[in-house]
Amino acid sequence: MTQATALPDTMTALILREGGYSGAATGPRIARAADWLEAVHLPVPQPAPGEVLIRVALSPVNPSDLHFIKGEYGQPRVAGQPAGFEGTGVVAALGEGVPEALQGTRVAFVATRSGAWAEYAVTDASLCIPLRPYLREEDAAALIVNPLTAVAMIEEASARAGGAVVLTAAASQLGRLMIGLAADRGIAAVAIIRGAERAEALRALGAAEVLDVTAPDFEAGFAAMVRAHKPRMLLDAGADDASARMFFAMPARSVWTIYGKLDQAAPALDQAGQFIFMGKKIEGFWLSDWLRRAGDEARIRAVTEAQERFASGAWQTRVATTLPLAEALEALAPALAEADGKVMIRP
């Protein structure tokens, strides 16, 4: 192992209380972080060959993190391991075989062996993105999960959806990223929101139409939008009955791409004939799978575009609050309940 300065023997981390899957599906919400996490002191992990140790500067709390700590995600928990999927920091030590040039480099990273809600994290060197010096720390911390998902899904929409795409949870951080990206690609982004208070902000980002799913005339408005724009892709974070009704109202050969599960209830698929006679499809999107199969060129292109958009101001990470790691166990659930933007954790 190569390191530039002496490292401490121990670190503070928020670790997973339980391992494996829970067998439940209650959604990305928590009443008390202490039900799922514990604040402890651990030995600082050592990077194995091909890995790096990162001194963590900032880490976001994403819906996928909440699914994961509750045992509802697509990979099992490991009890006692720090939580947190992504973050930013400085490479503090190198495992065998890692280029010396990474030492001391400021990076964005996806945590693999040891999570980002800790003072130090270990991950594969190949999952570290060296950062441009002028990238804001908040944007660097949230550079991977939402931005790369946005790039990948809008690329799919460009190839398959024609001139329009429907986005649910459009006022979320990811939804806002996709709206601007779609507009720049010449795709009409139809933003679906709950409540009209964010409508003007989404139009300012480039949304072609904004529809409030809670409005009494929503179905009539959605039908009129379908006639006008003929969208053939639904990029959906809800996977609920409202999403199903939108999908069944869309044209033939439409695709329902589910990338999140905000609602624990299963949607009613009561028009199954559309799969036979209209060629409709339902599929899932998981960034981890896309990163594995996209190829080096596509990954580099997506990362480059994400950094350029943040650096230019076209994208910006909206931060609701930043919690010190030492206070996060008590403060995380209340902060998430009130947040209009990202909750960040700072060691």
In the 3-class helix/strand/coil scheme, how is 135-174 assigned residue by residue?
CCHHHHHCCCHHHHHHHHHHHHHHHHCCCEEEECCCCCHH
* Residue 201 pLDDT: 95
pLDDT tens, position by position, 59-95: 999 999 999 999 999 899 999 999 999 999 999 999 9
Q: How far is Cα 102 from Cα 91, in angstroms, rounded to an integer?
A: 7
* Residue 308 pLDDT: 94
Strand order in the sheet with 209-212: 209-212, 188-193, 164-167, 233-236, 255-258, 281-284
Tell which CATH classification among 3.40.50.1100, 3.40.50.1260, 3.40.718.10, 3.90.180.10 matches the domain 2-142+317-346.
3.90.180.10
Q: How far is Cα 75 from Cα 44, in angstroms, rounded to an integer?
A: 24
> To which residue do tokens 């140790």 refer?
53
| Radius of gyration for the chain, computed over Cα atoms and rounded to the nearest angstrom | 21
pLDDT above 80 (res 265): no
pLDDT tens, position by position, 109-152: 999 899 999 999 999 998 899 999 889 999 999 999 999 999 99
What would the mean pLDDT of 179-207 be, rounded to a whole number?
95
Average pLDDT, rounded, for the chain: 94
Q: Determine what percent of the chain is predicted with pLDDT higher than 90.
A: 84
pLDDT above 90 (res 285): yes
Alpha-carbon torsion 73, 78, 83, 87, what sign?
negative
pTM score:
0.91
* Residue 296 pLDDT: 85
* The one-letter amino acid at 184: D
Q: Which helix (H) or strand (E) holds 305?
A: helix 296-312
Q: How far is Cα 307 from Cα 60, in angstroms, rounded to an integer?
A: 17
What would the mean pLDDT of 230-236 be, rounded to a whole number?
96
Q: Which of 31-35, 168-172, 194-198, 244-248 has the lowest mean pLDDT?
A: 194-198
pLDDT tens, position by position, 1-58: 777 678 999 999 999 999 999 998 888 999 999 999 999 999 999 999 999 999 999 9
* Residue 7 pLDDT: 92
Confidence of residue 159 (pLDDT cuts 50, 70, 90): confident
**38 three-state secondary structure:** strand
Instruction: Work out the angle between the directed axes of helices 218-229 and 241-249 (0-180°, nearest 10).
Output: 40
Q: State residue 83 phi and psi, 5-degree precision.
A: -85, 180
Cβ(58)–Cβ(344) under 8 Å? yes
What would the mean pLDDT of 249-257 be, rounded to a whole number?
96
* Residue 24 pLDDT: 87
* Residue 4 pLDDT: 66
- Name which of 52, 107, 118 is nearest 85 in CA terms: 118
What would the mean pLDDT of 226-234 be, rounded to a whole number?
96
pLDDT above 70 (res 309): yes
- Residue-range domain boundaries for the chain: 2-142+317-346, 146-288
* Residue of higher predicted confidence among 165 and 158: 165
274 to 166, 222, 244, 258: CA distances (angstroms): 18, 18, 12, 18
* Residue 184 pLDDT: 94
Domain 146-288 - what CATH class? alpha beta
249 CB-contact burial (10 Å; exposed 0-12 / middle 13-18 / buried 19+): middle
